[in-house]
Structure 1
Amino acid sequence: MQNDVMQNDVMQNDVLPTLSIFIEPKLLKVLKSNVWNEEPIASKLVVDNIPYKIGITYRGDLTRKFRKKSYRIDFGEYNEIFEGRELHLNAEYCDPSLIRNKLSFDFFKDIGGISPECKHIFVAINGSPMGIYLQLESVDDLFLHKRKLPYGPIFYASNHHANFSLLTPKHKPKPSLLSGYERKLGNDEDNLDLEMFICKVNTIPRGDFGKEIIRYMDVKKYLLWLCGVICTQNYDAFTHNYTLYRNGETGLYEMIPWDYDATWGRDCNGGIMEYDYVPIKGYNTLTARLLDVKEIRQQYRLLLEEILETSFTTAALESRITNLHKQLRPYLSVDPYKKKSIDMFDNEPDLILRFISDRNSYLWSHLKDLT
């Protein structure tokens, strides 16, 4: 789709970047025939009338079954324009606001964490509009290089087995300590190191945990990540929606957020998630063991108090929410998967702001649980 198609509805300075993807009909049929295929399909990406050879696959887990698909774009080599070898195009299909992922990643940066760069775009395939998407930076070696972070192994938490436990969420023994993880960067020795870390999380004696765990992970950065998860209320983040990075200089594990559309008052199916659904102490074995240590629990409380006073307030976030909504609003009518839900989209800013207000009050009232 060319930008001039949008001009009737959108002022020039509000136009989203358009990514036009062209796939031969027979290859498009191959792509659609198996949503779980990970082999990139040869295609072409055109942006600002400049063509790029790419491979394309679907991405995600449950999202592959949705009508509006998410995609992974593979350039095959480093692309200077896009500053990466690959892109993730998230459909945000179950998020009526289409902004929760971006709002979350920006929030993590506000509180001093790191997260992928992202921006909203408009996607067309073979001239047909696919709608509004979120273009996401890949968490890989280039991600580290851009942030001047030391090279180190990266693992994607690919399913709910990545809960830092010896058992699955259904309380059955895991087939492997690496169950739930997909290595993005590193080697077999890094696999062994991650297995050792998970083992240590589960076997260090209670009295020694506080002084021993700091040899394996950056506790302060984990607590900062925990604050972000607790405020945005990403229920799945404790077992799934994160990337694990081991700093090449310190040798310590750090957490990077990933997939935050089920946040700010809605769940992974787009339903309402009440503001008090996730407790202030969160979930998973690692979080429980950390917060069992008084000194760490107090450190978490101090970090959370500061965030509740400054970054996680309606005053701090209202303009950002309003601006994102305003930017996307003209595109709802040309998004074939969202044009029938414009009324719901228009109600989302108030819903998100109400969640922030209620969640903030709830967390303040439960700070006593961290004494």
Structure 2
Amino acid sequence: MPYLIPSYFLIIEESNLDDLRSDIWSDTPVSAYLKVKNITYTIDIAYRGSYTRKFRKRSFRIEFINPNRCSGARIIHLNAEYRDPSLMRNKLSFDFFQDLGVLSPNSHHINLTRNGSFKGVYLQLESVDDLFLKKRGLPSGPIYYAVNNNANFSLTRDEKKKKSLLSGYRRVLGTKSDDDLLHELIHKINTTSLSDFPNEIPHHLNIDTFLRWLVGAVCTMNNDGFTHNYALYRNNETGLFEIIPWDYDATWGRKVDGGLMEHNYVPIKGKKDNHLCRLLLKVPEFRKLYRNILEETLETKFTVKYLENKVISLHESLRPHILLDPYKKKTIDTFDKEPEFIFQFIRKRNSYLKKRLNKLD
């Protein structure tokens, strides 16, 4: 099927736009309207992101007020992808995680026009919330966003004891009583002996999906995603936590500023700052499972052959719209080189990881 890029029309009063611009770090929304297809929604809109708020092209968080659902979503995120010259890395990553069997947001590019002026191509991201679970037929359960580098599954950060085991996490679904479950997970990770680890931790964590997430993070080389830029969901039926990736634009060989990241920057075991990854890979049976998943992925899914059609199809679909994007059209030459840039990264990264599989023996 062709990859269609729909148009969204944002209508916002100038006074509300001025309020939005007056403090780019504020999360307080303003009222506006968003027309999608033939329906005009009353919305609340605010900027989203951290360092990206400084960019000329900013990202948004949109909540639908009336009607309060748009294509089954209550909240969506419109990412500007300003520093990614391909505008594809987030989507490629989330689709890749889904192929690996990891819970991951759906994503789709859209064109955004504000008050009659075209503002360019954005990536719409699904919000990780109760509706995320409902769409997938998953049981209810608390969801936590890892909002800073304190979310490293450790008692400390930079050798300093953290004030709380929940430091670095923000609960977005669930109740205060659910905090005890996350507290218990982190406590068990840090107090269970290595000999008891393989018996104890599987009672709290879905080991298979966590290791699949680690494979995805290591292959795509998200240097920024091991201690934040993820969410945790606890399945109330299984009693197990699962990890969900978030914000994967600085991947596939590019840094957060869009510059080159060498293919060997992230080790095969991930970043050591993630205490849980480090402990899991000390356990022979978990390390063997990780190696098996990674080895299969390097042979099947993390290859140019597997990803080529997706990359080229996305690129060809986006190009006519990039030519009109006021923030991106001047860099069309770089955009045109991105498919081969991504393919070269896959080749080099794949080879690098294959040569280091013996480190997992």
Length-normalised TM-score, structure 1? 0.94
TM-aligned CA deviation for residue 178 of structure 1: 1.4
CA distance, structure 1, for counterparts of residue 240 and residue 116 of structure 2: 47
CA distance, structure 2, for counterparts of residue 141 and residue 135 of structure 1: 18
Unaligned 5+ segments in structure 2 are none
| Corresponding residue number in structure 1 for 2:25 | 36
Amino acid at match of 2:56: R
| Corresponding residue number in structure 1 for 2:122 | 133
CA distance, structure 1, for counterparts of residue 50 and residue 124 of structure 2: 17
- Choose which of 317, 320, 323 in structure 2 pairs with 1:333: 323
**Root-mean-square deviation (Å):** 1.3
CA distance, structure 2, for counterparts of residue 220 and residue 49 of structure 1: 43
| Corresponding residue number in structure 2 for 1:250 | 238
- Choose which of 338, 349, 357 in structure 2 pairs with 1:367: 357
TM-aligned CA deviation for residue 80 of structure 1: 4.4
Q: Secondary structure of the residue that 1:235 maps to in structure 2? A: coil
- Choose which of 98, 103, 126 in structure 2 pairs with 1:109: 98
The answer to whether 1:90 aligns with 2:79 is: yes
CA distance, structure 2, for counterparts of residue 22 and residue 87 of structure 1: 17
Question: Relative to 1, partners in 2 of residues 1:105 and 1:51: Cα closer, same or farther, differing over 3 Å?
Answer: same
Question: Relative to 1, partners in 2 of residues 1:14 and 1:108: Cα closer, same or farther, differing over 3 Å?
Answer: closer
| Corresponding residue number in structure 1 for 2:310 | 320
Amino acid at match of 2:62: I
CA distance, structure 2, for counterparts of residue 321 and residue 48 of structure 1: 27
| Corresponding residue number in structure 2 for 1:348 | 338
TM-aligned CA deviation for residue 267 of structure 1: 1.2
Contact 1:78–1:84, Cα closer than 8 Å, also in 2: no
CA distance, structure 1, for counterparts of residue 14 and residue 38 of structure 2: 21
- Choose which of 265, 274, 289 in structure 1 pairs with 2:253: 265
CA distance, structure 1, for counterparts of residue 71 and residue 163 of structure 2: 38
Contact 2:42–2:66, Cα closer than 8 Å, also in 1: no
Q: Secondary structure of the residue that 1:207 maps to in structure 2? A: coil
- Choose which of 273, 297, 303 in structure 2 pairs with 1:307: 297
The answer to whether 1:56 aligns with 2:45 is: yes
| Corresponding residue number in structure 2 for 1:210 | 198
Amino acid at match of 1:171: E
Report percent identity of matched pairs.
Answer: 55
TM-aligned CA deviation for residue 15 of structure 1: 5.6
CA distance, structure 1, for counterparts of residue 333 and residue 163 of structure 2: 46
| Corresponding residue number in structure 1 for 2:262 | 274
CA distance, structure 1, for counterparts of residue 124 and residue 69 of structure 2: 16
The answer to whether 1:357 aligns with 2:316 is: no
Unaligned 5+ segments in structure 1 are 1-12
TM-aligned CA deviation for residue 333 of structure 1: 2.2
TM-aligned CA deviation for residue 27 of structure 1: 0.7
CA distance, structure 2, for counterparts of residue 269 and residue 202 of structure 1: 34
Contact 1:77–1:85, Cα closer than 8 Å, also in 2: no
CA distance, structure 1, for counterparts of residue 284 and residue 212 of structure 2: 17
TM-aligned CA deviation for residue 162 of structure 1: 0.9
TM-aligned CA deviation for residue 118 of structure 1: 0.8
Q: Secondary structure of the residue that 1:159 maps to in structure 2? A: coil
CA distance, structure 2, for counterparts of residue 33 and residue 269 of structure 1: 25
Q: Secondary structure of the residue that 2:228 maps to in structure 1? A: coil
